[in-house]
Amino acid sequence: MTRFFIFFLVVSACSAAPVEPAPNLRETKVEEVAPPKEIAPPVQPKSEPRAFRVAVVSDLNSSYGSLEYTPEVHETVRWLSEESRPDLVLSTGDMVAGMRRGLNYRAMWDSFLGNVVQPLDPIPFLPTPGNHDGAPNFAEEREEYLKTWTPRKPELNWVSDESWPTQYAFRFGGVLFISLDFSTVRWLDEEERVWLEDLLKDSERSVIFTHVPLHPIAAGRSREATRDRALEELLSRHPVTLIHGHHHAYFRHRHNGISTISMPCLGTGARKLKGQADAAENGVVILEFDDKEFADTLVAAPSFETRDLSTLPSTLDWEDSSIELYLGPLFCEARTC
């Protein structure tokens, strides 16, 4: 009787519990769970050769400590954001008006972000420091430059970002872009040259953007150039286009095998090309790439009319060198163009 009662209790308990059918493993689907947003890897745009456009702006600042920007700057920002719509915007320096102690550096950068960078969003903005932004001998300005740009690194296909936002490299549309920190007149040291050579050795098309030029092009600025012979020799062995600011005048030339674009300014202080009577126009340069070609266009600001480069002087003569206007292809092997 006792055994029967125990058996009855076991059977009753089992009958009361719902019976789940055995899972069919062949039909079971495993749902993928997305990783948390805070650890998700950044989106990396493809860098295969394709058509794209880049706007280059330079020397947007006004007088020391100024928080205001010229109409040319405001109109260019509007034109880029609403009409031109490039894929990238590069700056060859002098975004704020520093290089003097005791200025309100934070307010200057807040003004630049509010007047230039934010209206251009979501177009990536890539800076390189100018002498008024954060030259090494102005430690407080340098620190503020780093504080401003370190958290603003765009999501790009980075090749070298350890020294962002001063010296860095990324690929876009099959082209290698490199920022070199010439915020003052100096030469690259050996470690920097090794870094640069390693970047360039396997690149078929590279654009280097910086502030202080290799060679002077503006009147009264003969000492405002690096004349870095080791860097010049390195660049002459690669298909490179060098773009620089600082001299506030446009000139397109090829010197010792290096294709170079000197940028006009957007802010105050347009200068004369060597030997010219009139100051250069304010403007912006538009670079257009496809899988084979590279075209550059000088656009005046604020009219945004394309300028005919053949009206530029054919030669700029200096005491120790001569620089000639060059209208040929910008990407070509050293000394073959």
Query: 223-280: per-residue pLDDT in tens?
Result: 999 999 999 999 999 999 999 999 999 999 988 889 999 999 999 999 999 889 999 9
pLDDT, mean of residues 277-289? 95
Which pLDDT value is given to residue 4? 41
The whole-angstrom separation of Cα 92 and Cα 284 is 11
Which pLDDT value is given to residue 324? 83
Query: 59-110: per-residue pLDDT in tens?
Result: 999 999 999 999 999 999 999 999 999 999 999 999 999 999 999 999 999 9
The whole-angstrom separation of Cα 68 and Cα 279 is 22
Residue 334 has pLDDT above 60, yes or no: no
pTM over 0.85: no
pLDDT, mean of residues 203-209? 95
Which pLDDT value is given to residue 332? 64
Mean of per-residue pLDDT scores for the chain? 86
Which pLDDT value is given to residue 60? 98
The whole-angstrom separation of Cα 307 and Cα 64 is 30
Residue 25 has pLDDT above 70, yes or no: no
Give 7's pLDDT tier (boundaries 50, 70, 90).
Answer: very low
Closest CA to 72 of 118, 110, 108, 115: 115
Residue 294 has pLDDT above 60, yes or no: yes
Cβ count near 124 (within 10 Å): 19
Q: Is the preceding peptide bond at 302 cis, omega within 30 degrees of 0? A: yes
